[in-house]
């Protein structure tokens, strides 16, 4: 009985201590955010011109708050803040997703990623069409590794690939690069970091042709730069790429919202800045039959090396 009472006393002591700690943390949180919380309360609970609030919520969040301004006020503040940043810095990649737009974005990303394609072209060459960099496109690569390793040459199609998740791009690049090869030099707000290949070079080829156009952007440009700067068997065919040498972080919020902001600049392994410049092709080709042209070019390369 005494042991049971001691356990109960210890449990009670711990509970009291945790309650006090929680109260202190809550008090600190309120104190450090008092100005914002006071402003939020004033506008959402006391401001008399509610028709104006309805208009603002509809304009910037595309919603009818139905008098419940407090619930989505934080999202409104984020939306107005990101719009101000965009206006001042012309940074069109920093913004708030409303729930419908965020769901549409996730659906589009999945559908686009599932369009990733691998196929054998002939006895010497395999084809990989990367439509974006998502877990879906990475899964397609993993599932078709037997196809990708079945030939000694590859054509990688990055036309109209607008990018995607940087971590997926790095994993993709790692298949093609020697371990510890530099993929990019990344500049964050307070530090610079070299991102490197972490895996063994699973995909090794005699010749690599990359197809690109003006809609090849962001992470897909980083993949091009990583392969081009590290390997001596890469030929770029097509048009100058888009030129997006910056990256964003997306954080989901409550009620289906998400906020996206530019958080990094990246440079090629050799230190080249491609932002607003793009990457020029080795061979410019703008006709519709780019893939057929690349297949012929690959055959010529193979025969020349024989």
Average pLDDT of adjacent 10-residue blocks, the chain of 306 residues: 67 67 61 73 84 90 90 87 84 89 94 97 98 97 97 98 97 97 96 94 98 98 98 98 96 89 96 98 96 97 90
Q: pTM of the full predicted structure? A: 0.82
Longest dimension (CA), the chain: 91
Q: What is the pLDDT of residue 42?
A: 80
Q: What is the pLDDT of residue 84?
A: 86
Q: Are residues 221 and 236 in contact, defined by beta-carbon separation less than 8 angstroms? A: no
What are the residue boundaries of the structural domains of the chain, listed by start?
34-90, 104-305
User: Which structure tokens are listed for 12?
Assistant: 């009670």
**Angstrom distance (rounded) from CA 288 to CA 239:** 12
Identify which of 155, 159, 116 has the alpha carbon closest to the alpha carbon of residue 234: 155
**Angstrom distance (rounded) from CA 149 to CA 144:** 9
Q: Which fold has domain 104-305?
A: 2-enoyl-CoA Hydratase; Chain A, domain 1 (3.90.226)
């Amino acid at each position: 009985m005494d042991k049971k009472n001691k356990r109960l006393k210890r449990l009670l002591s711990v509970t009291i201590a945790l309650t006090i700690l929680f109260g202190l943390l809550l008090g600190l949180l309120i104190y450090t955010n008092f100005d914002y919380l006071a402003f939020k309360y004033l506008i959402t609970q006391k401001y008399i011109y509610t028709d104006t609030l309805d208009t603002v919520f509809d304009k910037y969040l595309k919603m009818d708050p139905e008098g419940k301004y407090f619930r989505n006020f934080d999202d409104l503040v984020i939306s107005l803040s990101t719009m101000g940043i965009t206006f001042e810095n012309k940074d069109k990649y920093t913004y708030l997703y409303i729930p419908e737009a965020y769901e549409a974005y996730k659906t589009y990303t999945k559908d686009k990623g599932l369009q990733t394609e691998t196929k054998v072209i002939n006895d010497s060459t395999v084809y990989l069409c990367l439509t974006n960099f998502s877990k879906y496109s990475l899964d397609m690569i993993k599932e078709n590794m037997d196809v990708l390793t079945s030939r000694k040459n590859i054509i990688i199609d990055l036309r109209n690939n607008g990018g995607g998740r940087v971590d997926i791009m790095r994993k993709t690049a790692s298949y093609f690069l020697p371990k510890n090869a530099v993929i990019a030099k990344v500049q964050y707000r307070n530090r610079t970091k070299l991102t490197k290949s972490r895996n063994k070079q699973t995909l090794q080829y005699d010749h690599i042709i990359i197809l690109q156009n003006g809609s090849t952007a962001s992470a897909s440009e980083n993949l091009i730069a990583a392969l081009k700067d590290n390997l001596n068997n890469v030929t770029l065919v097509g048009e100058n790429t888009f030129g997006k040498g910056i990256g964003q972080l997306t954080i989901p919020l409550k009620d289906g919202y998400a906020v996206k902001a530019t958080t990094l600049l990246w440079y090629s392994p050799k230190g080249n800045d491609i932002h607003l410049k793009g990457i020029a092709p080795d061979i410019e080709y703008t006709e519709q039959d780019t893939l057929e042209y690349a297949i012929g070019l690959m055959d010529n390369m193979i025969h020349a090396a024989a």
